[in-house]
Amino acid sequence: MARICLSLLANTLSENQRILSESSCSFAELRIDYLEPSEWSGIPQFAKDFSGDLILTCRKVCDGGLWPDDQDAKREELLLSALQGGFSFVDLEENFESSKLVAAAKSQNTKIIRSFHDFQTVPADLESRLRAMKQKGDLVKAAVMPQGMADVITLFEIGMNWTDRNAADESSLILLGMGDYGVPTRILAERMNSYLTFCSAKGKSAAPGHMNYQTLHELYRVDQIEKDWDIFAIIGNPVLHTRSPEIHNKGLQNIGRKGVYVPFTVDDVPLYFDLARKLSIQGFSVTVPHKEAVIEHLVKVDDGVKAVGACNTVLYRDGAWEGVNTDIIGFLRPLENLGEIKKHPQGLKGFRTAVLGAGGAARSAVYALVSKKCDVTIFNRTLEKAESLASEMGCQVGSLKALRKGNEKPFDIIVQTTSAGMEGPYEKMNPLDTYSYEGSEVVYDIIYIPEETLFMKDALQAGCSVLGGWPMLVEQGRAQFLLFTGEELPA
């Protein structure tokens, strides 16, 4: 089990005290390089008053801290006086030679963490360097910057091979990857044999990729994960914006399952599959841009994956990977559950439906609608793409320009699958801004960030029945959860 250590980064001790009491964290690192000089004299008392474990750290600018690089003597002096408070650990960088500090730490029963930071890369000699550092400290720490899946694998391999433990069978290693690629190394600190993982107070990050205590403790349960926990994942690039970890981790917790669902930013799908085997990942969700690329790694796929050519769910079954597409059912369920559709005896059959867009997301939606015998017309900025999708799925094509001007017969359902309206540069766009609604349409935007797009706002104002992408995300996740765990996602 790994601990969660809260980095205290305020410039006053009283603010740090407030942050500590808010988080209920019993393991912290006091970054005295952040403190105002007027606070220095209060450091020993701060340490005495704290009932948990405290790391004393004074990080220099060259190592990612605030302490001036040219004031080593003053730093040594400050650390020596601070140590009198009785810290559990003191962090001394790999190359910080001070016999006085080492002696003072020993006399206070303070364990020495030897550390180094690399904000650019994962050094090729990382493992041998850590082993060398171990000669000079009780624990060794490396915080490095993985540049992709290959580096993430290196980190997990070093961690999983680390066998050096103290008398209490605790690992002597603290190893973590910074940045987006490093996130799984922070959450799966236990698998990394990492003694602890760091977090920040809400809104205050000490290093790229730092998550806050609530996220690590409540959502990912990092300080409860044991060797026998199941690991599930989501892969994508980018992936950290997705809300799937909320759905799955809360679900796992609510059914009392020892399991965690971890986001992996993936730049190389084959390498990810190697890591997934090493970590015994039981199943994972797949998001943009990897829904097609995973397919060649699967021994079996369901009809949805075959028809759409995209797979959002991968399961490890009988020693091999299998693929399922739950985007289709995820798209259909919210629609079929609407009162307007439910009251129709034949469900979606025969509804005149316009689909905006002809990309990957449109493929699932069109396939789902056609499978329910909807009367589907595709509208897309690039007509040829609409034509190609329509001929493949057996439906019609319309002119987006004509639809926008209101020169098309009214539709019962309008589905929006383009990127227009999505958080970021497209957020202010509405692909049907000039459309005049009857008010009786069902309008469905599969975007879920923001929760309400301009397209949805317009349709709501016109009195339409409006669906956003969040219910779809929940429903595709619900179907995945059942496949991952064999149990229903609790309400």
Minimum Å gap between C-beta 430 and ligand ATR is 9
Cis (ω within 30 of 0) for the bond into 289? Answer: yes
Single out the residue of 176, 181, 189, 186 nearest to residue 211, CA to CA: 186
Interacting residue with ligand ATR among 240, 255, 271, 429 (CB under 6 A):
429
Minimum Å gap between C-beta 428 and ligand ATR is 10
360 touches ligand ATR by CB under 6 A: yes
Residue 429 vs 483, nearer CB to ligand ATR:
429
381 touches ligand ATR by CB under 6 A: yes
Phi, psi of 176 (to 5 degrees): -150, 150
The Cα 159–Cα 180 span in angstroms is 19
Under DSSP, the state recorded for 194 is: B
The Cα 306–Cα 267 span in angstroms is 24
134 touches ligand ATR by CB under 6 A: no
SS3 state at 79: helix
What torsion do the CA atoms of 471, 477, 480, 482 make, to the nearest 10 degrees? -80
Minimum Å gap between C-beta 384 and ligand ATR is 9
> Using an 8 Å Cβ cutoff, are 29 and 59 in contact?
no
352 touches ligand ATR by CB under 6 A: no
Closest CB to ligand ATR: residue number:
359
Minimum Å gap between C-beta 313 and ligand ATR is 16
Range in contact with ligand ATR (rule: CB under 6 A) among 41-49, 102-110, 145-153, 357-365? 357-365
Active-site choice (291, 306, 343, 372): 291
Interacting residue with ligand ATR among 123, 309, 359, 450 (CB under 6 A):
359
The Cα 324–Cα 310 span in angstroms is 9
Residue 426 vs 470, nearer CB to ligand ATR:
426
Residue 136 vs 385, nearer CB to ligand ATR:
385
Site string for ligand ATR, 285-324 (x = CB under 6 A): ---x------------------------------------
Q: Is 291 considered catalytic here?
A: yes
Residue 342 vs 401, nearer CB to ligand ATR:
401
Q: Which residues pair with 190 in a beta bridge?
A: none
Residues, the chain: 491
Q: Which residues pair with 112 in a beta bridge?
A: 90
The Cα 117–Cα 144 span in angstroms is 6
Single out the residue of 70, 83, 104, 98 nearest to residue 32, CA to CA: 83
Site string for ligand ATR, 383-402 (x = CB under 6 A): --x-----------------
Range in contact with ligand ATR (rule: CB under 6 A) among 20-28, 84-92, 425-433, 454-462? 425-433
Interacting residue with ligand ATR among 12, 81, 84, 419 (CB under 6 A):
419
Q: What is the largest CA-CA distance in the chain?
A: 85
Minimum Å gap between C-beta 422 and ligand ATR is 8
Pairing of strands 196-200, 230-236: unpaired
The Cα 302–Cα 295 span in angstroms is 11
Residues of this chain that bind ligand ATR (CB under 6 A): 288, 357-362, 380-382, 385, 417-420, 426, 429, 431
Catalytically active residues are 291
